[in-house]
Amino acid sequence: MELKHRSVSQSVSLNALSTACCYLVSTREAVFIGLISGLLTFLVMKLIERQYVVDDPTASFAVHGVGGMWGMIAAGVFVKADERIARAEHDGLMRGGGAYLILVQLAAVLSLTAWSAITTYAILWISDHIIPIRMDLVNELLGTDYASFNVLRSGLGIEEALEVLKHYHDNVDAGIDPTGQNLGTVELILL
């Protein structure tokens, strides 16, 4: 199931980024852009999974965030100028266009990243003051996957959290087995 999810995420990333500028790049370059996108998606998904930096069970950040950044940078590297398109007047770095287009694309990546971070923070701050976003401490330590959806995967530190929590709360069962399916959603669908 997990491998299937990763493959789907990589395929979405590969297809989206190789088709975004396909008119302005060669077939080989489009394939290369897509393959790099799939590799970056996989590596970022693994990094997030191992470092617990972001709670991103659908790999949205890896596919759309990192993949989108790579797609914008790849346009600055590989595109060819085309007189028929008003905005495509500069060649990319690999086509002898110099650093101009890649610098423009990097500036766009930085400005969009800053805008997205600031806007997201503002929306979450406002939302948190209307309806609190955080869970109570026990459920936060257990994680939303387990607390809300009854999904427990080994290696995520939940077992340790349960072991600590059972010393402070009588109703915590630390003897649960990891599951790989989203039983909460399955029960909801079968109702």
pLDDT digits (tens, 9 = 90+) for 70-123: 988 998 898 887 766 656 677 888 888 889 989 999 999 999 999 999 999 999
Say what the pLDDT of residue 185 is.
43
Q: Among 11-20, 36-45, 55-64, which is the least confidently predicted range?
A: 11-20
Burial of 42 (0-12, 13-18, 19+ CB in 10 A): middle
Q: What is the mean pLDDT of the chain?
A: 75
∠ Cα 54 112 45 (to 5°):
30
* Cβ-Cβ contacts under 8 Å for 153 (sequence gap 6 or more): 145, 178, 179, 180
> CA 89 → CA 41, 82, 106, 156, distances in Å?
30, 6, 17, 49
pLDDT digits (tens, 9 = 90+) for 137-160: 777 767 777 777 766 655 556 667
Say what the pLDDT of residue 188 is.
44
Q: How far apart are CA 66 and CA 137, in angstroms?
A: 31
CB 154 within 8 A of CB 178: yes
Say what the pLDDT of residue 15 is.
57
Say what the pLDDT of residue 97 is.
83
pLDDT above 90 coverage of the chain, percent: 17
pLDDT digits (tens, 9 = 90+) for 44-53: 888 887 776 5
Q: How far apart are CA 120 and CA 62, in angstroms?
A: 17
